[in-house]
Each structure stands twice: as structure tokens, then as C-alpha cells.
Amino acid sequence: MQRRELLRLLAIGSALPTIPSPLLAACREIHTSVSENPALKVLSPREDATVTAMAELIIPRTDTPGAKDTQVNLFIDRILAEWFSDEERTRFVEGLAEIDIRTQSLFQRNFVDANTAQQKEILRALGEELAEAAAALANNPRSYRGATPEPENNFYMQFRGLTLNGYFTSEAGFTQQLHEEIIPGRFDGCAPLPATARAKGS
């Protein structure tokens, strides 16, 4: 799959009712790569901790695994390393730094050092800003010259997309949350035929 096509699907995939097959296949390859080599490739340990904390707030562990359990942080790191351009990668890391600047401004500490309520407040504010931008686009599309703003220009929109896609294409997210099979259409060659089928064939 081409880089731009994957990034386009990552941007829109989290808003779709089903995961497009090309996106699922590409993401499954990334998950396999992460399992085989879980070392960080782009993010520093501190940046990785920020990504992990933010992703877990978006998809926390309940009776099913959360973002941290499914290594969404490493999925995002691998996307940054292998699919983002240098410019896109730099912009993402700068977005992470901005999260710390916001948290320091409000709570005098970095995001990972803030308590859960403070971290949720930061994400709530980011979500509100994203909603306001979407409303502004809907109400006055001419201000965008007829084109939707690129997702990569909004860090939180991009982060949410990567988190949701990383989670729902993981084995746990796909099977336990979406209740889908990683390889659908299983063939049971030795499965016994129902009595009605045997009667029709005899």
C-alpha cells in the first residue's frame, strides 16, 4: 500500500462503521512488526509515556483490554518511523511537546506527571477545540476555500485517528470490541453436515 493511501485511510478509518480491508491488512502487518520487534524507533521514552497515557485515556481498560494493553503506543511509533515523512514526523513530535506546554501552563507539570483528572481536562479542551473547528468548517466552508483542512494539521485529530485505528486493528480490539475474526470466512473441511443438508444431498 502506498504511504499516502495508508495515511488517508488512517485519517478517515476511525469514522467509518467498518474497517476497509486494505487498512486492516496494512495495520495488521504493523502490529506483527511491533510484536516481533517492540523497540521504539522514533519516540523518546518521555514522548512514548505521553502517547501511552493519552491513548489509554481515549481507550481505557475496562472488561476488555485498553490502548496500553494492545501496544497502541508502539503502533503509533511504527507509523511515525515507517509511514510519516520527516515533516509529518516533526509536526507530530511538536504536537506532543505542545501537550506538555499546555499542562505546565495549567498545572505546573508535564502531562505524564499530572493526575488523571488533570490529564482528562487537557484532552477535554483539545476535544472542544476540535469540535469548534469542525463547526466552523460546517458553518463557513468558504473560509477553507472549499477544501476540508488536512487531518495532519490538527494534532489531536491525528492522534485520535492513530489511536482508534491502532486499537481496533489489534487482535484484541478487532475480536473483543468489534467481534470480528482476523481471518474471516474460516473453512472447516471436516465439519459434519447438518442432517437437513445430508437429506437434500442423498
Could you tell me the maximum CA-CA distance found in the chain, to the nearest angstrom? 78
The larger pLDDT score, comparing residue 192 to residue 130, is at 130
With beta carbons less than 8 A apart as the criterion, state whether 128 and 28 touch.
Answer: no
Sequence ranges of the domains in the chain: 3-181
Give dist(CA 161, CA 123) in Å, integer: 14
Written as one letter, the residue type at 133 is: A
Give the least confident one: 94-103, 133-142, 174-183: 174-183
Give dist(CA 148, CA 109) in Å, integer: 35
Instruction: Identify which of 68, 36, 89 has the alpha carbon closest to the alpha carbon of residue 167.
Output: 68
Q: What is the pTM of this model?
A: 0.75
C-alpha cell at 107: 498545572
52-91: per-residue pLDDT in tens?
A: 999 999 999 988 899 999 999 999 999 999 989 999 999 9
C-alpha cell at 198: 445430508
Looking at the predicted structure, is the pLDDT value of residue 117 above 70? yes
Instruction: Identify which of 75, 26, 70, 73 has the alpha carbon closest to the alpha carbon of residue 171.
Output: 70
Instruction: Identify which of 52, 68, 58 has the alpha carbon closest to the alpha carbon of residue 127.
Output: 58
pLDDT confidence of residue 135: 75
What per-residue string of b and e applies to 171-198 under the rule 16 or more CB within 10 Å gives b?
eebbeeeeeeeeeeeeeeeeeeeeeeee
